[in-house]
Structure 1
Amino acid sequence: MTCPESGMPISYRLLAPLTALCALIAILSQSGLWLPREWGYVAKPLTTLLIIAHAMQRGRATPQLRRWVLAGLWFSLVGDIALMWPKEGFLPGLVAFLIAHLCYLWAFTRLQGLAAWPWPFVFYALLAGGILSGLWSGVPEALRVPVLAYVLCLSAMGAQAAVVGWRARGTAEARRHAVLALGGLLFVISDAFLATNKFAGPLPLASVWVLSTYWAAQWCIASGLARSRSAS
């Protein structure tokens, strides 16, 4: 079914507002603002599923890229579900997202060689090192190795996304790959909020900052895939 004026599939047109609505419900419920907290147990995974649906309608001309971005999104969904139980699910969620970042990193190297432009890796290393050094004393000893491994993977993913965005300047893919680079940066910002809230003390309205930047990041990464003509 298509929109008569534009020929764009209606289901495709509705994905963005539906995703935004589900994200808003999840954020308000997880933050204890106006909505019952239980609503978040449905709205949180549903938001990521809608982003997966967005990605599935894209990227058919680049199957390897599409496959690994989708793998990253599915592992992110596992992490989302695990982190709904902040204590028991933190380590499984951390591992799920670590794998997601490795999937994204591999996906982005299908577009540009690893560290083909080295400066983003320098920037993200300094950024991650600064954040981690400020939080390190609050990280339990049992979590220090997994947290360090996670930060390395996250930083490499964000840096490689920036490489893709920078190297696409002046090409037909420039806008789309700039959005992908933004997604990598937003993911780092989201996890910085999450880590600050967990290891440095409660962050006011933490769910608002963590989840809004997280889903914006995932949407941007999914939007790095070219939209398929057969999307419906």
Structure 2
Amino acid sequence: MAGHAAAAYPRVLAAAVLAAAAAAIAGALMAHAAPGWQWLHWCCKPLATALIFALAWRARPAVSPRYRWLVLAGIACSLAGDVLLMLPGDLFVPGLLAFLLAHACFIAAFLGDSRFAAPAWPLAICLAYGAANLALLWGAIDAPLRVPVIVYVVVLCGMGGQALARALAHRGDVLAPAAWRAARGALVFMLSDSVLAWDRFRGPLPLASLWVLSAYYLALWWIARSVQGDGRGGGA
């Protein structure tokens, strides 16, 4: 009975993540029409991230203790970024810093069992993608934000490139399933932040909260699931 409860708990936790993420997205969408719904977004956005943290904490067996702790640190920094970007006042730069630290933690995790930029082409493609977005958005970015945004984009693209390079390096070995989950998460994180940047700097996009938050939670979900190192976490 105890074993059954232990096995069921992650499924319950996964359902809780899905419910909290859906509520956070619904709250953000409904708040555009009725500001009174903003409380639902404020409560459930950090809750969903905290539950994803718990999912990574519970994953057994881990790729390695070091990998688990660095992923947990990255998710914790993401949670801090969630809170900072919701607080009153313009805390965009502190929020950006929190997410930059999150990506740095993820990069450190990915480097635990792979060499940097080996192969190099995933990093080159990710950096080119980031540079293209920067070039298209450049005129809309306020001058004081340009340096922080450049640094953030470089680190974000470095995270995506390293995750993909690591997955390619582990093709066919026991770490391949976990490495590919991390790579999918890292690349979807890049997509989420790209949509967020276009929405912030080029004007509101239709249903931006839906696309940004859906991609964000999917990214964190895959990165959290990559902690489980024997492939039993599946492709979800």
Q: Counterpart of 1:37?
A: 38
CA deviations 1:123-163 (Å, max 9, x no partner) are 10111111111111111000000000000000000000001
Q: Distance in 1 between matches of 2:109 and 2:143?
A: 32
- Give the AA of the match of 2:14: A
Contact kept? 1:57, 1:227, Cα under 8 Å: no
In the alignment, the residues of structure 2 paired with residue 89 and residue 15 of structure 1 have an alpha-carbon distance, to the nearest angstrom, of 31
1:23 to 21, 24, 27: 21
The alignment's TM-score, normalised by the length of structure 2, stands at 0.90
Q: Report the secondary structure of 2:86's partner residue.
A: coil
Q: Would you say the 8 A contact 2:175–2:229 is kept in 1?
A: no
- Is contact 2:29–2:207 with CA below 8 Å preserved after alignment? yes
Determine whether 1:190 maps to 2:192: yes
Extract structure 1 runs of 4+ deviating beyond 6 A.
Answer: none
Conserved? CA contact 1:114–1:160, under 8 Å: yes
In the alignment, the residues of structure 2 paired with residue 219 and residue 124 of structure 1 have an alpha-carbon distance, to the nearest angstrom, of 21
Pick from 133, 145, 150 the counterpart of residue 143 of structure 1: 145
Structure-2 separation of matches of 1:179 and 1:210 = 19
Return 24-33 or 210-219, whichever deviates more.
24-33
Distance 1:61 1:119, change over 3 A: closer
Instruction: Say whether the 8 Å CA contact 1:72–1:99 is kept in structure 2.
Output: yes
| 1:2/1:10 contact within 8 Å kept | no
Cα deviation, 1:15-56, whole Å, max 9, x if unaligned, reads 111101100000010112688221111101100000000000
Between 31-40 and 97-106, the greater mean CA deviation after superposition: 31-40
Q: 2:161 aligns with which of 159, 162, 177?
A: 159
The match for 1:172 is: 174
Higher helix residue share: 2
| 1:52-95 residue CA offsets vs partner (Å, 9 max, x unmatched) | 00000125461111111111010100000111148512111101
How much identity, in percent, do the aligned residues show?
38
1:66 aligns with 2:68: yes
